[in-house]
Structure 1
């Protein structure tokens, strides 16, 4: 039962041994109409307003004169993760963000870039983050150890948070749909209503998790500038 349940997240489609599941990560670009890039319309106006709001918020979080243009990195994270999360709600589309290999690749790449930049350009600033202000001298070695461990596990927590939230909703939808064949007509109607409510919740989770990933990445970068 458990193997069948989690098999919905396993790669299944391939041509000549080449897995096509990860092609879903680029599927969002294919469904955007060409007129979006050429002719201004309501959708492009709304999306540009969302991106501008994110830019303003990320700029405040970074809070540095050196951050000009750097918000585009986190807006790209938000857009890429949002597209993949939403596409995963459609039937027969592989949810790439439910796999640690994709999430950890994004988180680890960003974290390594922040760390390399911080230690090369702001070494003293990075050392000061290991010991919070006002820490007693006796506790300084323990605080350095705690801060170091918390810093090292950041890419893992980012990846696990995103993957766990995407897996949980899909598993719940799969569990509920698997009992539909054994229910009466009235219960099936109730089950459909519950499924629609859960799907709406999953759509909200898809947006929230992409926002959380981007905001946390922005906060981590603000510590190295």
Structure 2
């Protein structure tokens, strides 16, 4: 158990990407579903927390990159969970990538990675748009934060003043940085998305690519990054 995180959040840590399990009373909900080995790592983490007794009711996807959705269909089928995912990334759930510019590198990686890693296509039970509310965990609001992908969403808890920020930024070794442009479908949009995230009432941020620091520390780093981006020339 990572004591940096509140008791109702379980961070499933992996070498390439982390994802989150939320406990809502006697039910569990995932924020993304991890990459290689994600199912096994999740099951071990649930046993350690003694949450394996609770049913997984839903999987909420932040965006359609393969490292976030590789295990979605497997987990949904195994646990009978529903899937909610951004409407604008529907191509990726169907097993297709069409990224522009430098992000064609990510497109190539996904094209070869899907069959190699056994990706299973899926159709979300609910497609999410900006402002949509999910009636879990005292309310989670979808916040459109495009740039990484067209449909990239953050998931905001007004009650807890926490933002699950997906891949809006990465947070390691004391600093927040933008993801490399080979993974961003529209890099010039990202500073605007960072500014939009920072306008929310926040006590903490939980990225998918980060060290084990507490949510308040990731927020501090994001604020520093936001200030730097605001003072920098346009990336256009």
Q: Taking structure 2 as the reference length, what is the TM-score of the superposition?
A: 0.20
Structure number with higher relative contact order (C-alpha < 8 Å, ≥ 6 residues apart): 1
Structure with greater helix share of residues: 1
Larger radius of gyration: 1
More strand by share: 2
